[in-house]
Chains A and B, each alone.
Chain A
């Protein structure tokens, strides 16, 4: 009992909770007025593109309803596309499509999208179905193919790296891998597994799934602990470059490792979550102390 109390009292030495994250990391480093830069994927992507940071190629941005028909014609030359709402959250509204026959698109699970259905989906995005009613934009972009390193862990969905940086210095990183439960999404809330990253050595460490540490993927059974991450130093470099482009000093950068083009930034987050502490078995404050001389 006494021991537990001592543990609890000591926790604030190394752990960061939501209150402290907001008061000492987010508010002082990320002025509210710059949040849209991170929240709006179109805006974020244009900043990154302009500065030569690798991002998935944009095929089209749909701003208005009347553009949809033209854009649907333009994308007929692509074999594979991803459609995303610019301001979506939790992976809502994201659609990965292959073109089977001309104008006939289908998802991984075999759902068919013809012109009308595609039109309707894009219109829904514009009307804000996936962004709580606010008017939104839709991005249509290059569909990434996960690197064999990633498919070697689990071959469905697209895993991504999350790197948290403070004032341009990487603090912690993790790899988020979809599971059967997460339905192809690399979202921890939806049941994806988080895997720790040893940033110095460029290897993945333990995975954290259902409050337990594991060394293998719960569905595929593939071991990953200790595997070397390909292109890790480039991934880290890209994350640093990205953080310098945004007036947000406390930033989560999401990077996907593409089979053909290497690491690419897909999203930045101005209030990254705290689960990364559990996944890496280290408190955020500790890693600040370790990485940043104040």
Chain B
């Protein structure tokens, strides 16, 4: 049952990263790919009807994590207090940016909110990547399963790390690049004309960087935390995950070069899912690794809620998620196709 909930939380996280990932990425390239006011409006319109629903996946994932693994939630949210508060402020700034840009009639303020939106989106991508880096690298968990991390460190990975060191910054940059490409492919899919061309150029330019950073982070992860290799030794089939990661990267490149926008974007979705899947596979059954004594690792077993709770939770969760997926399929169908600038946006 614990394993089942581990998979559920991992899947919901993948859904969040794949969905909100493209609008974060679109936000990160908003200024460059949009270029003109009209171009930027096109980008906002491409994500307008869905970004808010995408962000709900973060809340739903958080809620599910909270009830299935209360100790993990309690420990990590306290330990990552400062970066999480920064994430909250960035999420607010981003919503302010996108919302008020739409309501501003003055060019000056539209430009200002464009910068707010773009900056907050890019920084969020970096912070999410760094967060994952922290989980993979390990944190100084005590015997009670708790910790508190300072923001700044001496940039070295060690038994007493901080939020930002060379490894987590590397993860953050990789996340930014990967989500930017993801967002650029989405914008390519949803727009026409100049914006489309610029978005495609960005994806082409960043692809080699993404490949290089993926390769680098693979080695860096095992170097920063050798324990990550254990599961791959125990279940050699797991080696298929990194292989598939690179396969999806190359598929993305080929499809993108051929101009197959839809499948290039889907390959990017697969890439993100596989990267997260790989991290989850390497960590299992741990959910938060201790940088010191491995006996202090938080696992799915010592953080999970009771058996009854997990059982009834599974019943309502299954029903709820089927309905939710139904909404999303319907919503994306309603707003499918390229953004039509002449029509003046969606509906009304």
- Do chains A and B interact in one complex? no
Identify the A interface with B (CB < 8 A). none
Chain B residues with CB under 8 Å of chain A are: none
